Structure 1
Amino acid sequence: MEKKITPRLITAILSAGMLSFLGILDETATTVTFPILIKEFRITTDQVQWVNTLVLLVIATIVPISSQISLRFSTKRIFIAGMLFFLFGLIIDVFTPRFDLLLVGRAFQGIGTGIGLPLMYNIILARVPKDHLGFMMGIGTMITAAAVALGPVFGGIVTDLLNWRWIFIVSIFLAAIGICTGGWSITQINKLQRVRFKYKQWLAIAVSLVLLMLGFTNVANHHFLSYQVLGFLGLGIVCLILWLKISWNDQAALISPRLFKNSSFSIQLLCYCFAKISTLALGFIFPIYVQTVNHGSVSLAGWIMLPGAIVDALMAALAGKLLDKKGACLPIMMGVIASLAGTVMMSFFGTHLSNFAIIFLYALYYGGYGMCFSSLMTSGLTSLPASEHSQGNAIYNTLQQFSGAIGTALAGTLMAISQSNRQLELQQTTAIGARWTFYVLTLLIIFNLILTLLFVSPNKIKH
């Protein structure tokens, strides 16, 4: 069947994207409500972080089985199941009188997001003609990337005008629309097969990801040699080795580790992870910087992130066009250089960033991120045979969540270490912790630039 872009296909992509958009939107929107949740539920800062950490953990364990789910169940059934899980979680979140039930609701949202997150990209890869693939992948990335930066604005406005529960009420309304449009537009993208579920492989990789993420998120609050950090990290590595041993010789592995033998795929995946680490770290730092160092309001902290979201969306679409015409290297190089320029200036002015400087530098960084992020994913996936796109997509989406957790943990750890200096005021230690974070992110992006120069092909992607 000839591939072509139709209104129904665009609706299907947007409907599938709605699920991942809402998952990310709610995650970033709830961040600005943490002080309110602490007071309302009488919990600590360490406890309230689980509102988002738990979602990342659940998504990280669900996404690896997405390739097998897509073979066993129809595309439309997968979409509806993801939406129903997500809706059920939203309903719990709206009515919960207790914090532990809020976490249950967020876990169900994580299941829905984990099911739906790879679906949009699978539809794009299966249905979009290759000469438009870069542009549509850019649109897909734009949908999820916009949610990251729009979330704080959305959460701040809704919480100020109404209350935090309305974040989830609005999401219920949008999810209902998504179910209706997706039910009409989404069609089957692959032939169904009676595959045997790989329980051992899934458990090994799921437990490994959970333990590694727990170890990284505990770095801010525990000594590195403690069982909460080194213990979890060590056990996570053991489980990862076990997954490699179980999966390596399996020709029909849940996620084949042999994909990592493809150097083009692996290097671009690594660059993709570094970009995500940097972005989530900055998304964590700047709202705190605006409120603590510059004494801005919660709503202002959210609004300051908005220009970056707009530039990111525009650059993601432009990057797709450039990739289709010139190949992946040009948009990736342009994006990495722009992001590097942003973090270098952040490092230089780190302790004296005005709100206007944050708007400009975050937009500069985020515009570069928009240029390179979707291009790294498109180029990395197209370096694999078409039969391995689904597994490659699952790897990208799994490590995207994992990298986000690392980025948040990195920024939180550096900030906590700096703020532990009681001889200086909180405003000063927060600015110093932010500058330390900018230094580390600059090093990561320099590494990305070197890898891009060495390993990303300057040639146009073959159609």
Structure 2
Amino acid sequence: MNTASTTSGAAVPTGEIKRLPIVISLMIGAFLALLNETLLGVALTDLMQDLKVSYSTIQWLTTGYMLLIGILVPVTALLIQWFTTRQIFISAMVLFFAGTLIAGLSPSFGVLLVARLVQALGTGLLLPVMMNTILTIYPPEKRGAAMGTIGLVIMFAPAIGPTLAGLILDSLNWRWLFFSVLPLALFSIIFAFIYLRNVSEVTRPKVDIFSILLSTIGFGGIVYGFSSAGDPSVGWSSPLVITCLIAGAIGLILFVLRQVKLTEPVLDMRTFKYPMFSLAVILMVILMMTLFSTLTLLPMFMISGLGLKAFTAGLILLPGGIINGFMSPVTGRLFDRFGPRALVIPGIVIMTITLWMFTRVTTTSEVFVIIILHSVLMIGLSMVIMPAQTTGLNQLPRPLYPHGTAIMNTIQQVAGAVGTALFISIMSSGQTRYLSGVQDPNNPKQLAEAMTAGVHNAFWFAAVLTVLALILSLFMRRSTVPHEQAAKAHV
């Protein structure tokens, strides 16, 4: 193979691409990036003690990480058109490696926060590039299986993160959460340097700085506003939260209006002219809100409601995460064979029933009930997320792939922040309402019951959302783009 094709702006012809090494490179990078997102959660208490900072301060390791990804991901559509696949992926992994190394050596909270932001730069680049590459190297009739394989990594890595972190922290200090990842990150860089090829066409469109500024204010304001609102010590009435949400909403509206007028937009809004893509985006908002919120609510219920330790709660959620990961390749192949409706509709039905059953869980429920319900919920999610996402992206012509993947990934970040804040607020209001009606609100038993009541309210709301998703899923159908339609979009 001509080496020039791997380093210049020209993409390698599709017929000459060896897909397996490319997919392996992407999977290793994505696995590390997503594992990193959940590794730190159970270590926050240790970090507070070791670095001598408060809970509100240590939370910036998570909030800052999400905030930077929310700002960066919308711009990836532009970056994918300016740099080759190799350049972006290897640069992202080098940033991730550098951030991880600095984090492990951090002498203070400030340095650790900077390290996490460097990690976020790498992660924010990786996922859109991965999805864009899969769309480019696989024809529509084979994308289900490919996206399903990627889905295994996307769901498996976050699932084992808390458990793996618990095991590391039992015998080593928090720095090893970062040091243990370094060898794999280095291997990923070397592997990608040898095997990864450029598969996208570098067109270098005009860069509109004002659009990037509006995108930063819009998506950054919304992600930060909702993330802050989800913190019980801040709440929705905080002037900072209100200011961020208003600024974010105005910035986002102006950003969208500007993209419609530009001949070379940062994010091309023509993607929403394709009905299956628009439908998939709405479904992803609902699904991501449900997923992120469940991952937040269940540990809180198990710790405060059932009185379990954080590590035990992580172990209880592990089977569902593993099942979800291994279901993704299966649902991907079924998607290629039967289309989206055969998976998405039954999957949402399973989710709705399971979420309703979570409203029946009490402080006396057995642990195995939560394991079963969570596992079934994850099976339902695996039948919906990748098929819905792939259906939406399949309808786009190739020139819109970078924009479609950037929009999908941005929506996931925003929906995660919005969903977590909204569901925690619903849970908190349920707790307050319950405690206002008891004689001794400081009684541990009453506090546990209040947590249960709040979680029930949140799961009821989630079930209602999935009913809405079920109605929308009835309009989903298999989608492909005719060649003449793709040609028009390219003009």
Q: 1:445 to 1:353 in 2, by over 3 A?
A: farther
Which whole-Å deviations, capped at 9, do the CAs of 1:357-387 have from their partners, x for residues lacking one? 1111110001111111001110011122222
Q: 1:55 aligns with which of 65, 68, 76?
A: 65
1:278 maps to 290
Q: 1:108 aligns with which of 96, 107, 118?
A: 118
CA contact (8 A) 2:226 2:418 kept: yes
Q: 1:418 to 1:223 in 2, by over 3 A?
A: same
CA contact (8 A) 1:332 1:372 kept: yes
The answer to whether the aligner puts 1:97 opposite 2:117 as a matched pair is no
The answer to whether the aligner puts 1:69 opposite 2:79 as a matched pair is yes
Q: 1:378 aligns with which of 372, 390, 396?
A: 390
Shift of 1:200: 1.2
Which whole-Å deviations, capped at 9, do the CAs of 1:326-383 have from their partners, x for residues lacking one? 1111111122111112101001225544321111111000111111100111001112
Shift of 1:169: 0.9
TM-score, scaled relative to structure 1 = 0.94
Q: 1:412 to 1:98 in 2, by over 3 A?
A: farther
SS of aligned partner of 2:359: helix
CA contact (8 A) 2:133 2:200 kept: no
RMSD: 2.1
CA contact (8 A) 2:217 2:247 kept: no
Instruction: Provide the rounded CA distance (Å) in 1 between the counterparts of 2:358 and 2:204.
Output: 53
Which whole-Å deviations, capped at 9, do the CAs of 1:90-131 have from their partners, x for residues lacking one? 112101121122111110000000111111111211112332
Q: Which moved more, 1:429-438 or 1:353-362?
A: 429-438
Shift of 1:250: 1.4
Q: Which moved more, 1:104-113 or 1:321-330?
A: 321-330
Instruction: Provide the rounded CA distance (Å) in 2 between the counterparts of 1:50 and 1:208.
Output: 20
Instruction: Provide the rounded CA distance (Å) in 2 between the counterparts of 1:386 and 1:248.
Output: 19
Which whole-Å deviations, capped at 9, do the CAs of 1:269-319 have from their partners, x for residues lacking one? 111121111111111122222222222233221211111112212321121
Instruction: Provide the rounded CA distance (Å) in 2 between the counterparts of 1:96 and 1:340.
Output: 44
Shift of 1:325: 0.9
Structure 2: gaps of 5 or more residues:
1-11, 436-440, 483-491
Letter of the 2:313 partner, please give it: A
Letter of the 2:473 partner, please give it: T
CA contact (8 A) 1:293 1:427 kept: yes
1:195 maps to 205
Q: 1:274 to 1:4 in 2, by over 3 A?
A: farther
1:261 maps to 273
Instruction: Provide the rounded CA distance (Å) in 1 between the counterparts of 2:56 and 2:386.
Output: 33
Q: Which moved more, 1:37-46 or 1:338-347?
A: 37-46
Q: 2:161 aligns with which of 151, 163, 170?
A: 151
Which whole-Å deviations, capped at 9, do the CAs of 1:236-276 have from their partners, x for residues lacking one? 11101111221112132110223223332112111112111
Shift of 1:178: 0.8
1:32 maps to 42
Instruction: Provide the rounded CA distance (Å) in 2 between the counterparts of 1:81 and 1:223.
Output: 38
CA contact (8 A) 2:303 2:313 kept: yes
2:455 maps to 434
Q: Which moved more, 1:390-399 or 1:222-231?
A: 222-231
Instruction: Provide the rounded CA distance (Å) in 1 between the counterparts of 2:16 and 2:292.
Output: 33
2:476 maps to 456
Q: 1:161 to 1:414 in 2, by over 3 A?
A: farther
Which whole-Å deviations, capped at 9, do the CAs of 1:154-210 have from their partners, x for residues lacking one? 111111121221111111111111111111221111222232222111111121111
Letter of the 1:199 partner, please give it: I
Letter of the 1:442 partner, please give it: A
Instruction: Provide the rounded CA distance (Å) in 1 between the counterparts of 2:54 and 2:414.
Output: 24
TM-score, scaled relative to structure 2 = 0.89
Shift of 1:460: 6.8
Q: 1:204 to 1:71 in 2, by over 3 A?
A: same
The answer to whether the aligner puts 1:358 opposite 2:362 as a matched pair is no
Q: 1:3 to 1:322 in 2, by over 3 A?
A: farther
After TM superposition, the structure 1 = structure 2 runs for residues 219-298 of structure 1, keeping only pairs within 5 Å, are 219=229, 220-298=232-310
Instruction: Provide the rounded CA distance (Å) in 2 between the counterparts of 1:165 and 1:407.
Output: 30
2:330 maps to 318
Shift of 1:418: 4.6
Structure 1: gaps of 5 or more residues:
none
Instruction: Provide the rounded CA distance (Å) in 2 between the counterparts of 1:399 and 1:350.
Output: 33
CA contact (8 A) 2:396 2:481 kept: no
2:489 maps to none
2:467 maps to 446
What percent of counterpart residues are identical?
27
SS of aligned partner of 1:248: helix
Instruction: Provide the rounded CA distance (Å) in 1 between the counterparts of 2:481 and 2:364.
Output: 47
Shift of 1:12: 1.7
Instruction: Provide the rounded CA distance (Å) in 1 between the counterparts of 2:256 and 2:128.
Output: 22
Letter of the 2:476 partner, please give it: V
Letter of the 1:289 partner, please give it: F
Q: 2:24 aligns with which of 14, 19, 23?
A: 14
Instruction: Provide the rounded CA distance (Å) in 2 between the counterparts of 1:326 and 1:460.
Output: 12
Shift of 1:223: 4.8
CA contact (8 A) 2:394 2:479 kept: no
Instruction: Provide the rounded CA distance (Å) in 2 between the counterparts of 1:28 and 1:320.
Output: 25
Instruction: Provide the rounded CA distance (Å) in 2 between the counterparts of 1:223 and 1:281.
Output: 17
1:212 maps to 222
Shift of 1:419: 5.0
Shift of 1:152: 1.0
CA contact (8 A) 1:328 1:461 kept: no
